[in-house]
Every structure is written in structure tokens, then in C-alpha cells.
Structure 1
């Protein structure tokens, strides 16, 4: 018998800013993940309320996610669990000649029949790709705002 199918995806952008500026924008954006809160409750997320140290560090919680690794300014790893999925969202900021390459890595499994249905609704519909692209776009806007003269 095989286990649940694994989903992996990477969304990336090169931002004209230092990793430190990108890191602050990632932290600001992650703080508003898990909105709307009714959705986090509806799907039964393990982590439903913000708690723990700020700025985000290992052990911090934002709705839908627990921070497992915070290595400023290069890596932030968020893990989550809900009724239909077990998932990790990892942000990596890599310095380049052009600024910083920001990568948002998703790794998820969808166990059981309901997990397969959820995968169909969220992954196969491309909704997740659009949502992750939107997160990266909002981070880009935060960086652009922070680097304006």
C-alpha cells in the first residue's frame, strides 16, 4: 500500500534588497498568514492562535503554522497540521549580485480520502500556486516600500 502523495513546489523572486531587508518583509508577511481565522478553525489547524516570541523564532506560532527554524536572515521554516494535510512552508533568502533571491518552498502530504479531496480542491485547482505567488508578491511590495528613498 502506498502512502499519501507528496506535493512540492517552489515560488521564487529576485528582490533588489539585502537579505536583512527581505527577512523583515518575510516576518511581517508571515505574521498575517492564517487569515481569515475562520478558515484556520474550519479546517482544524493544530496551531490556531499567535503565540511565542516576537520577532518570530523557533517555537513562535502564527495561525496555521509553528516556527520550527528561524535563522535570520536566510531561512524561516514553518510547519503545520490540519485535518487534511501535514505541511511545511520554508522561506529562503539567498544573497545574489542582483540583490536577494527569495524562495518559498512548500512540502505537503494529504493523508486519507479527505486529504485526497482537499488536495484536489487546493492543489490540483492551482489555488495553492496562486496563494503562494501572492505571498511572494506581497513580500516584494513590502521590500519595495522599505527601500524607497
Structure 2
């Protein structure tokens, strides 16, 4: 992703190695992303004021290799970039990059709550694990 004034700032990247070929990982990722993007507003997303209501929308896709989800709410605007890369025979690296801005004092407090507390790390690793587990089952 190239630096651009319209894109949020880079936060972090997490990876997992999946014991499955890239095409199976892609199918698993796409299904997971469809569930995220098709989600309905929950109590939390209503409080945050997410757009879209479920929190994420697919905004870019390079089938088989890259999928970008994005959203925003009262305290942040964010992108979650998944990349699927071959790593050997029947091995794939699944990476997730987070890009986000947290404007104003309320955004800074939200960043402290979510990013600095490592809750974000737990959530992203859970996402990667779910995609990985579905691809190998």
C-alpha cells in the first residue's frame, strides 16, 4: 500500500502459516470476509456508530491474493488488508495489516483502549486463526 493522504496510518501486521494451498486459504478468507462485511449492527456497532452497520465492507479485491476491508465509526477509520502468499508446497502465509486513524481526544482514548491494551492484537490473531482453521479442515 503506497503512502497517501487519504489512507489511514499503518498500525501493525500479523501473519500465520497455513498448511493448505493458497486457493483453499483464499476461499476460507473470502467466506470469512463475507460474514464480516455482511454483518448486522450489534449493540457495540450501534454505540460506536459504525459505517457500514456491521463494521466492515469489502473495498478492494485481487482474487486469490489480496482483500481489503474498511469501515469507520465515531472514533476511528480503518482498513484491514489481508494478503495470501504461497510459501511452499501446500503452505501459505496469510497476513493481516491494520491501518487506522484515531482523530481527536476521543480517538486517542479509543486507541489507548483498543490498540495499547492489545485487544486489537487478540482480535486480529483470532481472525487469522479462524481463516486458517477453516482452510485446513
TM-score, normalised by the number of residues in structure 1: 0.79
In 1, the alpha carbon distance for the partners of 2:108 and 2:10 equals 11
Matched, 1:112 2:104: yes
Output aligned runs, 1:1-149, within 5 Å: 6-33=9-36, 37-48=42-53, 63-98=54-89, 99-145=91-137
Between Structure 1 and Structure 2, which shows a larger proportion of helix residues?
2
How far has the Cα of 1:8 moved from its partner? 1.3
Deviation at 1:39, TM superposition (A): 1.4
Q: Could you list the runs of 5+ residues in structure 2 that have no partner in the other structure?
A: 1-7
Separation in structure 2 between the aligned mates of residue 31 and residue 38 of structure 1, nearest angstrom: 20
TM-score of the superposed pair, with normalisation by structure 2:
0.85
Moved over 6 A (4+): none
Q: Please, which moves more after superposition, 64-73 or 74-83?
A: 64-73
**Aligned-pair CA distance for 1:6:** 3.9
